């Protein structure tokens, strides 16, 4: 005759031990759900699966449009003299763009302490 060992353990535990075990399970599940929620939130903003947004994320949302910086952003060699600070990325880097106008900007620059990186417009105008 076989004994289901899990049932045997649960039946032999006193009430306090069972409550402690269930509390640990509940806390673990809650922590897992919070981590998944944070991962999903960052992914929605940046297309990256990370707990916190990178300074230069793969996708930057700016002025109602999405800009592709890629998984490894390329250093920009563009002249930034006509561009002004227009905002920040989800990770806190500065977004440089041409002064506001009616048409969508084709590219933006993201400036960090390491340098300036270009991001092109995703999709059509």
Q: What would the pLDDT profile of 29-88 be if each residue is shown by its tens digit? A: 999 999 999 999 999 999 999 999 999 999 999 888 899 999 988 888 777 778 889 999
pTM for the structure as a whole: 0.76
What does the pLDDT look like over 81-122, one tens digit per residue? 788 899 999 999 999 988 876 566 788 999 999 999 999 998
In 3D space, the residue among 122, 105, 117, 118 whose CA is nearest the CA of residue 67 turns out to be 122
Q: From CA 108, how far away is CA 93, in angstroms rounded?
A: 12
């Amino acid at each position: 005759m076989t004994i289901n060992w899990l049932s045997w353990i649960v039946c032999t535990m006193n009430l306090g031990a069972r409550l402690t075990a269930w509390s640990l399970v509940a806390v673990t599940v809650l922590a897992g759900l919070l981590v998944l929620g944070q991962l999903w939130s960052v992914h929605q903003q940046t297309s990256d699966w990370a707990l916190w947004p990178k300074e230069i994320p793969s996708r930057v949302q700016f002025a109602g449009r999405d800009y592709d910086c890629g998984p490894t952003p390329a250093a920009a060699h563009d002249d930034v003299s006509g561009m002004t600070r227009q905002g920040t990325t989800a990770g806190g880097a500065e977004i440089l763009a041409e002064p506001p106008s009616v048409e969508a900007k084709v590219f933006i620059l993201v400036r960090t302490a390491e340098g300036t990186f270009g991001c092109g417009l995703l999709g059509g105008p």
